A and B are shown apart, each in its own frame.
Chain A
Amino acid sequence: MAEKPITPGKNAPQVGMAYQIPRNSLALLMISQVVVILPLAVYITPWIIGVGLFSGYWRTQVYRGRWGYPAGWVKAVLVFAGVFGIALSGYGTFSLEAATSLLVLAFALKLLEMKTRRDAYLIIFLSYFLIATAFLFDQAITMAAYQVLAAVIITAAMVGMNQLQSRVRPLASIKLAAALIFQALPLTLVLFLLFPRIAPLWSIPMPSSSTTGISDTIKPGDVANLTMSNELAFRVVFEDEVPPARELYWRGLVYSEFDQGTWTVGRPLPPKATPPAAVGPGIGYEVFLEPTQAEWLFSLDTPVDYGPRLKMLGDYRLINPESILSVKRYRLVSDPQYTQDPQLHGLLERRETRLPDEDNPRIREYAKALLADTGSPTAMVEAMLAQIRNRDYVYTLQPPTLNNENSIDEFWFDTRRGFCSHYAGAMVFALRAADIPARMVGGYQGGEVNPRTGHVEVRQYLAHAWVEVWIESAGWTRVDPTAAVAPARVENGLNAALSGEDRAALSFLTNARLGEGDLLSNALQFFDSVEHRWNFWVVGYDAASQSSVLQKLLGEVTPARIGLALAIGGGVSMFLVALTLFWRRRPTQRNPAERKFFKFASAMARQGYARAPDETPAAYLHRLAVKAELDPQPMVQRLQSFMYDPQASLSEVERRQMRQDFRKLRFRLAFSTPGKAS
């Protein structure tokens, strides 16, 4: 296609001054296209980037006069091929990715017919739209900062469109655009704070990437993989003091079914109609959950207050009505003293004791014998913990691989090396084998306090699995076998529990975060605190926080009051910008002579005798004197030598005379009609 011959006259670049895109704007336009597509590049199919680069190259060749614009049929083929390609890319029909890909494709191909100013404006407005689109995928502060920059470049392209052909200065347009964006800041702030966050009129299909973090199935070894990641899971702000790390068991998922060595959540239990009633004093905290693309939420112990939007399932875990696609902010009160299910329903008991029919025979036998030996479920749990503690069990992130068939037998009796999910899995299996209701719980354990903002940071490497066993009248009780094999993991965090070998397997950044006091971990903490503040003040400012702010500001929230507040806020912000501009462009200090004359001239202007800019003081005074039927000559001479003769130092008498002249003129002309200047 590249060798397509140019047919002059048909596809040759249009010539016509009025419609041409200014050179400096064209460069900025192409730069801004790259800039807005770049953040979307990871979410769309890579070949669209190729299409973009190809179109860019073609347009550059057109600019250089080497190639012509593509013919109509070429464009048609490109469009149909592109749409077909997106259809084959394996996104859902109405997924956000498909829509974005289509938009970016059209945006890239538009380059090939960017001839006139109208096309260029279309590109500019599409660029602004793409900026907004990128926020559907990512709302981090880095993204926001990047997009502000992109907005500056796009605005600069628009500024360039309106510059004269003879002044090609891209840097000047960028400077002007930056100033424009900066001036828009106060108004942006007002709109951000006050403009009602209306529920969308139609729902946007959301990004359909796979879930991150803990998943609803656990194979032995899964959690260990998570430990390799130092990504943020969530941040928590406690209302009172932060509980010690060993009590921070963040429940997220409850795994009730086991098959083929894999634990799964199973069919979700029906939600509870009312929240559990608090028993003791609760722990209040607010969670800022990073997007997981899943519905489950993380909470401590038993949440007793979780607001009207969230739901609690039968196993006391919280569920969001939708998948979490952007930072989710929710406030909870948890009660550690609450007893979960003092009486266990028969159906639930069957669910939590069910095992596959025949696998892991050794541990089944072992469990039955142990229960017979010890006599009670509590004693059996103790005995198992004692066995983990006293025998040669090892906590490691790199356990040997187990075969799926009898993995638990293999781990418990032979390898004895494993991670939290191995221990928890073996324990739940053993308890269920002895007909004691037990389940595995997945989530995170611990958290690091950021000293700058005081919030607790929970990262993926704190992913954890533990056991809940049902004991008569005590209800579901948490048992953590990992605490038996590696007490330091729970007491002092992951860092203390890891061997040198394990540490070596972790990523550089994870190690840096786990380290303390050095420059890098300090820097990481700083970035984390910035990000947290961003989430707290900007991303977390949702409809609920807005309505409370509005309530505080307006008292009663009515549309009229919101409108009024917007008008006032907008007016004030515009006024501030205007004021600074005015202040910066105020005229330089006048000298005393000019000041006096200016005062007189403004007074006369109010009486209807305005001075034209090019009318000199002498001419002006002459005009006024003639109008007032006074002798102009002496007045004019006095004024002129007063204002413009550096050598003449007027005596006190002459100054008084000049003031008298002014007064006389004002008095004489106060009651006459200005009329036309003669």
Chain B
Amino acid sequence: MTPNSTQTPQSLNSTTTVDEVAVSRAGVKNQIEALVQALNSVLLGKEQQIKLSLACLFAGGHLLIEDLPGMGKTLLSHALAKTLGLSYNRIQFTSDVLPSDIIGATIFDKQSNSFRFIEGPLFAQLILADEINRATPKSQSALLEAMEERQVTNDGVSMPLPTPFFVIATQNPSTQSGTFALPESQLDRFLMRIELGYPEPAAERQLLMHGDRRTHLNTLGAIISPAELSNIQAAVGAIKASDPVIDYIQRIIAFSRLGSEFAFGLSPRGALALLQSAKAWALINDRSHVVPEDVQAVLPSVVEHRLRESADFTGHGGGALAQKLLGSVDVVS
């Protein structure tokens, strides 16, 4: 038997029936490729992070971007808002931002002689919550209620927020003085937390040679429509996860609950988040089903901010724990 004699049948996708899903998935594939390409042209050399944040939004979750100043957090969130074609507002959090600055307020209208609710910046499809940890807990919870319930309450009246509704929050981990760190219960509401990290030398060189990409941002237009976005979200829901993958996720969850280095285990919401993100990742990689690689790819972003080491009271051990989960839990039981 020689190496060349191996047959390579390319008829793996032998499904001859061209069904609707296949067609829409082909369309989705092109849209996603276009999105990634557009975002890549703004934020250089960060394809992984771009894909992760897309996966987060496709899975219908909120995104937390945590990194040092100047790494492109705001740039990425702006670019995402623009390319996804969503109405967006940016809220710059400071310690004196009040809930009414976010939600809106009821004011007296002289003309009609009645009270009128003026919508705050929260009423948009995509919110860029910049430096969320600078706000007081009171203002943070106003935003976080909106994230969970997708509605706001003012003077006892609940008002629905537009759909889709996304929050992309950024925070700066290094200068903690004068900040209010988000507690675990609120961190849990973000589907993913990503870090951007320093760019590759090549990408940085390109940046230095060709100038700031911020100007490029203005030329960026909507690549997909909200309707197409909801189509993509539906496609995420249609991705299949087989028993071995579910078993793998369950083993990860169980490991986090039993291991003594974990202060507490992953919640059922965390488990759901992991599966949903893996599905979105599978879609981005043009697959109809989830494979363990998908779970592994999204795992750090999904679980790091939900975990805390037993011996660590400050809550910054999540990264090591995620690596522990990756390294210790067998993919195949």
**A589's closest neighbor in chain B, by CB?**
B333
Report whether B292 and A617 are in contact in the complex, using a CB–CB cutoff of 8 Å. yes
One of A25-33, A218-226, A286-294, A645-653 at the interface = A645-653
Within 8 Å CB of B330, what residues of A? Answer: 613-614
Within 8 Å CB of B329, what residues of A? Answer: 613-614
Q: How far is the CB of A518 from chain B (nearest CB, A)?
A: 54
Report whether B242 and A633 are in contact in the complex, using a CB–CB cutoff of 8 Å. no
Question: Is the C-beta of A594 less than 8 angstroms from some C-beta in chain B?
Answer: yes
Question: Is the C-beta of B201 less than 8 angstroms from some C-beta in chain A?
Answer: no
How long is the Cα–Cα vector from A617 to B245 in the complex, in angstroms?
12
Report whether B291 and A640 are in contact in the complex, using a CB–CB cutoff of 8 Å. yes
Within 8 Å CB of B247, what residues of A? Answer: 588, 594
Q: How far is the CB of B303 from chain A (nearest CB, A)?
A: 14
Scan B8-38; emit 1 where CB is below 8 A from any A CB, else 0: 1110101000000000000000000000000
How long is the Cα–Cα vector from A166 to B310 in the complex, in angstroms?
7
How long is the Cα–Cα vector from A633 to B291 in the complex, in angstroms?
15
Report whether B244 and A630 are in contact in the complex, using a CB–CB cutoff of 8 Å. no
Report A584-627 residues with CB < 8 Å from chain B CB.
587-588, 590-591, 593-594, 597-598, 601, 611, 613-619
How long is the Cα–Cα vector from A424 to B32 in the complex, in angstroms?
114
Of A587, A617, A631, A638, the residue contacting B331 (CB under 8 A) is A617
Question: Is the C-beta of A145 less than 8 angstroms from some C-beta in chain B?
Answer: no
How long is the Cα–Cα vector from A164 to B3 in the complex, in angstroms?
56
Report whether B3 and A629 are in contact in the complex, using a CB–CB cutoff of 8 Å. yes
Of B3, B327, B332, the residue contacting A597 (CB under 8 A) is B332
Report B274-297 residues with CB < 8 Å from chain A CB.
288-293, 296
Report whether B293 and A616 are in contact in the complex, using a CB–CB cutoff of 8 Å. yes
Report whether B263 and A646 are in contact in the complex, using a CB–CB cutoff of 8 Å. no
Report whether B12 and A646 are in contact in the complex, using a CB–CB cutoff of 8 Å. no
A634-B9, A634-B12, A645-B240 known; A590 and B291 CB under 8 Å?
no
Report whether B288 and A644 are in contact in the complex, using a CB–CB cutoff of 8 Å. no
Within 8 Å CB of B114, what residues of A? Answer: none
Scan A134-156; emit 1 where CB is below 8 A from any B CB, else 0: 00000000000000000000000
A: interface residue count bin: 35 or more
Q: How far is the CB of B1 from chain A (nearest CB, A)?
A: 7
Report whether B242 and A637 are in contact in the complex, using a CB–CB cutoff of 8 Å. no
Report whether B242 and A634 are in contact in the complex, using a CB–CB cutoff of 8 Å. no
Question: Is the C-beta of B326 less than 8 angstroms from some C-beta in chain A?
Answer: yes
- Number of A-B residue pairs with CB-CB distance less than 8 Å in the complex they form: 92
**B21's closest neighbor in chain A, by CB?**
A647
**B293's closest neighbor in chain A, by CB?**
A616
Of B14, B291, B331, the residue contacting A651 (CB under 8 A) is B14
Report whether A630 and B328 are in contact in the complex, using a CB–CB cutoff of 8 Å. no
Question: Is the C-beta of A580 less than 8 angstroms from some C-beta in chain B?
Answer: no
Report whether A647 and B293 are in contact in the complex, using a CB–CB cutoff of 8 Å. no
Q: How far is the CB of B12 from chain A (nearest CB, A)?
A: 5
Of A616, A648, A657, A664, the residue contacting B292 (CB under 8 A) is A616
Question: Is the C-beta of A548 less than 8 angstroms from some C-beta in chain B?
Answer: no
Report whether B289 and A646 are in contact in the complex, using a CB–CB cutoff of 8 Å. yes
Question: Is the C-beta of A643 less than 8 angstroms from some C-beta in chain B?
Answer: yes
**B261's closest neighbor in chain A, by CB?**
A164
Of B7, B289, B292, B332, the residue contacting A647 (CB under 8 A) is B289
Question: Is the C-beta of A641 less than 8 angstroms from some C-beta in chain B?
Answer: yes
Report whether B291 and A618 are in contact in the complex, using a CB–CB cutoff of 8 Å. yes
Number of chain B residues whose Cβ lies closer than 8 Å to a Cβ of chain A:
35
Q: How far is the CB of A302 from chain B (nearest CB, A)?
A: 70
Of B1, B242, B291, B328, the residue contacting A613 (CB under 8 A) is B328
Report whether B289 and A645 are in contact in the complex, using a CB–CB cutoff of 8 Å. yes
Question: Is the C-beta of B243 less than 8 angstroms from some C-beta in chain A?
Answer: yes
Within 8 Å CB of B289, what residues of A? Answer: 641, 644-648
How long is the Cα–Cα vector from A631 to B327 in the complex, in angstroms?
28
How long is the Cα–Cα vector from A327 to B133 in the complex, in angstroms?
75
Of A164, A167, A644, A647, the residue contacting B291 (CB under 8 A) is A644
Scan A524-555; emit 1 where CB is below 8 A from any B CB, else 0: 00000000000000000000000000000000
Question: Is the C-beta of B206 less than 8 angstroms from some C-beta in chain A?
Answer: no
How long is the Cα–Cα vector from A185 to B239 in the complex, in angstroms?
52
Report whether A657 and B9 are in contact in the complex, using a CB–CB cutoff of 8 Å. yes
Within 8 Å CB of B243, what residues of A? Answer: 591, 646
Question: Is the C-beta of B260 less than 8 angstroms from some C-beta in chain A?
Answer: yes
Q: How far is the CB of B32 from chain A (nearest CB, A)?
A: 20
A164-B310, A614-B326, A651-B14 known; A645 and B331 CB under 8 Å?
no
A613-B330, A645-B242, A646-B242 known; A637 and B12 CB under 8 Å?
yes
**B329's closest neighbor in chain A, by CB?**
A613
Report whether B8 and A613 are in contact in the complex, using a CB–CB cutoff of 8 Å. no
Scan B296-333; emit 1 where CB is below 8 A from any A CB, else 0: 10000000000000110000000000000011111111
**B14's closest neighbor in chain A, by CB?**
A651
Within 8 Å CB of A618, what residues of B? Answer: 291-293
Report whether A591 and B244 are in contact in the complex, using a CB–CB cutoff of 8 Å. yes
Report whether B3 and A630 are in contact in the complex, using a CB–CB cutoff of 8 Å. yes
How long is the Cα–Cα vector from A643 to B248 in the complex, in angstroms?
13
How long is the Cα–Cα vector from A615 to B10 in the complex, in angstroms?
25
Q: How far is the CB of B152 from chain A (nearest CB, A)?
A: 37
Question: Is the C-beta of B158 less than 8 angstroms from some C-beta in chain A?
Answer: no
A-binding residues in B (CB < 8 A): 1, 3, 6-10, 12, 14, 240-245, 247, 260, 263, 288-293, 296, 310-311, 326-333
Q: Could you name 25 residue pairs across A and B whose Cβ atoms are closer than 8 Å?
A: A164-B260, A164-B311, A587-B333, A591-B243, A593-B244, A594-B244, A611-B332, A614-B329, A614-B331, A615-B331, A616-B331, A618-B291, A630-B6, A631-B3, A633-B8, A637-B12, A638-B12, A640-B291, A645-B288, A645-B289, A647-B240, A647-B288, A657-B7, A664-B1, A664-B6
The 10 closest A-B pairs by CB, nearest first: A613-B330, A616-B292, A645-B289, A646-B242, A634-B8, A644-B291, A646-B240, A644-B242, A587-B333, A616-B331
Known: A590-B333, A633-B8. 17 other contacts (CB 8 A): A164-B311, A166-B263, A166-B310, A613-B327, A614-B326, A614-B327, A616-B293, A618-B292, A619-B293, A631-B6, A631-B8, A634-B6, A641-B12, A644-B244, A646-B242, A646-B289, A647-B288
